[in-house]
Every structure is written in C-alpha cells, then in structure tokens.
Amino acid sequence: GSVIVVSYILPLLITRERETASWAIDWNLDSVLARRASAGRAEGKRVLWIGCPGVAVAEADRASLTEALVHYSAVPVFLEPETQKVFYTDFCRAFLWPVFHNVIKAGAYSHSAWRAYCTVNRQFADKVVEVYEPSDLIWAHDYHLLLLPSYTLRHLRTACVGLFLHTPFPSSEIFRTIPVRDELLRGMLNADVLGFHLFEYGRHFLTCCKRQMGLDLTEEQIGGSERHALPADARDKPSGVGGADGDIFLTVRDHERTVVVVISHAGIEPGVLENVEASAFATPSSLLLASPAGGNLSPLTLSPLVPRRGSS
C-alpha cells in the first residue's frame, strides 16, 4: 500500500506563469517532509500527499492545478478563504500555538474559530477517504490536524493512522485550560501511533490522558509475534528502547484501543544531507564552514525554524 502523508500545506512551491498561465511546481527544499519524500522514493515507496497548495487559487483554476499536481502524487485541499483565515490565524496560531508552548493568552479562544478548525479537519478527512485504498497508511502531521484521526475513522474503521506533532505538548496544568481539551485528546487518541519530538512532550500527553480522562498507561514490548505488557521494573525506559524480543513503547489504553506513543528526536540524517549536497542548488560555500583552528570542515545551516520543520 501507499503512505498518505497529510499536512496543512503541501511541501511544494507553486506559482503561476504569467505568460503561459501554466503552473510552475517544484519541491520545497526547506521542507523536512519533502526531503523525506525523496528518500522514500529512492527506497521504492509510493507516497501520496494531501494538503493545501499554499497559494490563493481561484475556483476556475482549481481543476488545472489539481491536474498539474498529479505528477507530484499530490492531492490539493481547497479551503474557502474566510474559513482558512479563521482556522489558521484565529485558532491555530493565535490560540493553539501559544498554549502548546505553555503560554496562556486570555480571550484567545473563540467558539467560531473552533468550528472553523473542525470544518477544516473534516474537509481534510474527506479528502483522505476519497483517495484511500485498503492497506494504505495514513500519516498526519502537526497541531493543525489533531481531529483528523477521529473524522477519518468514522468512515475507515480499519485504517491505520499515525499522527506526529512537530510542536511541544503542554503540561496538564496548561492543557486543562483549553475549553475543548477533551475533544482534542479524543481526536489524537483515535490514531494508532502518536509521535513526539521529546520524551517530555510525550510524558505531558500521557499525563493529560491519565488525569483528565482516567485512561490506563502501560508499557508494551512490541516485536516479532509477541505484544505484551511489561513488568514494573521496565517502566523507567523511554519509548522505543530495544528489548530482548522487541522494542519497548509507552501506550495508552482507551477502552479496546491501544495507542502507541513514540519519541523521534529531530536531527541530521546522513542520507538526506547527501541528497542536498548532490543537488544542483548546493555549493561548497553554502554547505561547509572552514574551522579556523585546524582547517576541518563542518556542516552549517542557517534557516528559519518553522519552514525547516515543514509545517508552518
């Protein structure tokens, strides 16, 4: 099956040629997701992208852009301008972003913005359902799409859904100030796998599940043909630590569902760096910085954090 990668904005640079009125499309090299896509293609994996185009597209031009994106295995989601503004500016950036960074802003929440957030997540889920085929893996990204697992599983009961959060996750004391905290937790818990950058963020999420929803937290050893709860003396190990029969993962028991929590630290991947070095855009001066001491060369990158993360 394919991997369906769902992000708010497609990892593509899309412009309209003035003279020919055709679409100029290329991968956004500042996007981590785009770099991983190139690695996936090299390994023979089929990746299907779903997301907004990142540029304003008139309704009359949507069909032509959709056709042009087929070459990139990308499926666009077109949002109404006002809905997109309220969703992104009023809810995601003005409300969720500060809270997830442990900052409480009085009066930042509005019910109309929450409705827009639900509407957009439902539209993304509808697009996933439209292109999904049995055995596909759905991989959603970031705080824009926390409700996507719930809306998707309403139609695809057996689909395998992963959700990776590229932001911090707040402490339970901060998270409990969100008026729709239960809805957000329920949305996330409908994923089969939840990913966080740091163990601290995963621990905050697990604490919220325990304190606010009374769910059971366990560690399980997953590998080979066995999957079982671990004894108490293994509970100090972080998620993803290798064991004798497999890897140890933190899990949340939500009724009959088991949600696996994994920790994936951000770092430099040699394969991705080699692809950049071999690209036509790379020059020795942009990739390497000479050390004044011994003349050794070391990698250097100067890029804004949000574009590098691939999900602004």
User: Considering only 8-12, 59-63, 128-132, 262-266, which range has the smallest mean pLDDT?
Assistant: 262-266
What pLDDT is recorded for position 289?
47
What pLDDT is recorded for position 154?
95
What pLDDT is recorded for position 219?
79
| The pLDDT of residue 166 is above 50 | yes
Q: Are the CB atoms for 205 and 261 separated by under 8 Å?
A: yes
pLDDT tens column, 268-311: 666 666 666 666 555 555 555 444 555 555 555 544 444 444 44
Alpha carbon of 139 to those of 22, 33, 84, 191: distances in Å?
31, 11, 22, 9
- Find the mean pLDDT for residues 164-177: 96
Going by pLDDT thresholds of 50, 70 and 90, the confidence category of residue 17 is: confident
E strands present in the chain: 3-9, 12-16, 23-27, 47-52, 74-76, 137-141, 160-164, 193-196, 216-223, 226-229, 241-242, 247-254, 257-263, 288-290, 297-299
Give the separation between CA 210 and CA 238, rounded to whole angstroms: 18
Q: Among residues of the chain, what percentage have pLDDT more than 70?
A: 72
**What does the block give as tokens for 141?**
């990204």
| The pLDDT of residue 31 is above 90 | no
- Find the mean pLDDT for residues 82-91: 97
Give the separation between CA 168 and CA 226, rounded to whole angstroms: 32
pLDDT tens column, 61-85: 999 999 999 999 999 999 999 999 9
Q: Give the length of the chain.
A: 312
Instruction: Calculate the average pLDDT of the chain.
Output: 82
| The pLDDT of residue 170 is above 90 | yes
| The pLDDT of residue 88 is above 90 | yes
What pLDDT is recorded for position 202?
93
> Is this prediction's pTM over 0.85?
no
* Nearest by Cα to 74 from 11, 165, 143, 147: 11
- Find the mean pLDDT for residues 25-44: 69
pLDDT tens column, 220-254: 766 544 444 433 333 344 444 444 445 668 889 88
